[in-house]
Amino acid sequence: MKKKAKNKRVSDESDDSDVDGGIEWEFEDENAAESENSEEEDDEVEEDESDERKPKQNRGDKSDDSKPVFSETLLASIKNKLRRRELYLKYKEEKKKAKREARKERQREYERLGENAPPKPVPKTIESTREEDITMVDPNDEEVKEDEATDQFASYFRGEREPKVLITTSDNPHTKTIKFCRELMQTIPNSEFRWRNRSGIKKMVKAASSRGYTDIIIINEDVRKPNALLLIHLPDGPTAFFRLSSIRYCKDVKHRASLSGHRPEVIINNFNTRIGHTMGRMFAALFHFDPQFTGRKVVTFHNQRDYIFFRHHRYEFKNGEKVAIQEIGPRFTLKLKWLQNGTFDTKYGEYEWVLKRHEMETSRRRFFL
């Protein structure tokens, strides 16, 4: 009987706990909360472990939400070559994008302000940031005009002496050199081509002066190609020696214009120093001082970073504002090596200027013409 009562009491207590949601259920809720907390802690531990297994982000990396910011210092600290290159390309793309946006913003500002817009800034180039040279001259300066009135080219610019040019080569010239001389003869009016016939330069100078020539052009060659040009102004000099490169013959010029016998106009551009001013006058004296405008031909000597670019064009006015040009050819590039006072004399001649590369070309922004 006692055992039955005891079992009955236990069963009664269990029934009460079911009805009242007694202590036993509360323990079960707490155990469930503890199990949930333990699961969250396990998840955090797994996330920490997964983060440790992931490679560490470089200092140059940022999240996708924020705009990435790179710098050359941070990129230099990245040891992985592939990753560094990838970030460097992104860095360059961002710089280009920022530059485009700034350009568009300036354009919108100019359009909005109209005539009241500020002047456009001068772009920074090697040419615009060249080092100052004490030999820079102003063509309108009174001292420069006095020197021009008494120099070797004064008679030409006064219109007293018409140019007559003798063109020749070194001994036994190759076909390409002869071709270049003939195209040069077609470009320069009143010029003649003569064979060298193993004559010395001093002997040629005397003979040409007696026959009324004003200039001598001698084309030298190397490896069967023209590589140098010697220009002698008669009768008293000066003499200039150039390296010749980047030759393109008339036949190689695409969509070229036909050649005519009219005397061309001459454009001398960007010769700013004393030496450059002399070179400009020397080139101008090769062509007739009275151009024939009906031929619409123009010859250009353009100096850029001490390289003299020669071009030969024909122009046509489309309307009052637009002009179309068509190249005739030939084209080539000259680099001045030395300038000598008087006619050619390498032994006793007085050199006004000589290019010494390792002593003079010490800066990319230093120019002599």
pLDDT at 309: 97
pLDDT in tens, 293-330: 999 999 999 999 999 999 999 999 888 788 899 999 89
Cβ neighbours around 141 below 10 Å, total: 10
Residue 55: what residue type?
P
Averaged pLDDT for residues 170-186: 93
| Two structure tokens written together for 100 | 């485009």
Of 24-38, 115-129, 318-332, give the lowest mean pLDDT range.
Answer: 24-38
pTM score, whole prediction: 0.71
Mean pLDDT across the chain: 82
Averaged pLDDT for residues 81-95: 89
* CA distance linking residue 128 with residue 365, whole number of Å: 9
Averaged pLDDT for residues 8-29: 42
Cβ neighbours around 334 below 10 Å, total: 23
User: Residue 230 pLDDT > 60, yes or no?
Assistant: yes
Place of tokens 């009143």: 190
C-alpha count within 13 angstroms, C-beta hemisphere, residue 318: 6
Which domains does the chain show, CATH number per domain? 142-360 (3.40.50.10480)
User: Residue 337 pLDDT > 90, yes or no?
Assistant: yes
pLDDT in tens, 236-245: 989 999 999 9
Q: What are phi and psi of 216, to 5 degrees?
A: -125, 130
Output helix, strand, coil percentages for the chain, rounded to the nearest 5: 40, 20, 40
C-alpha count within 13 angstroms, C-beta hemisphere, residue 300: 16
* CA distance linking residue 112 with residue 107, whole number of Å: 9
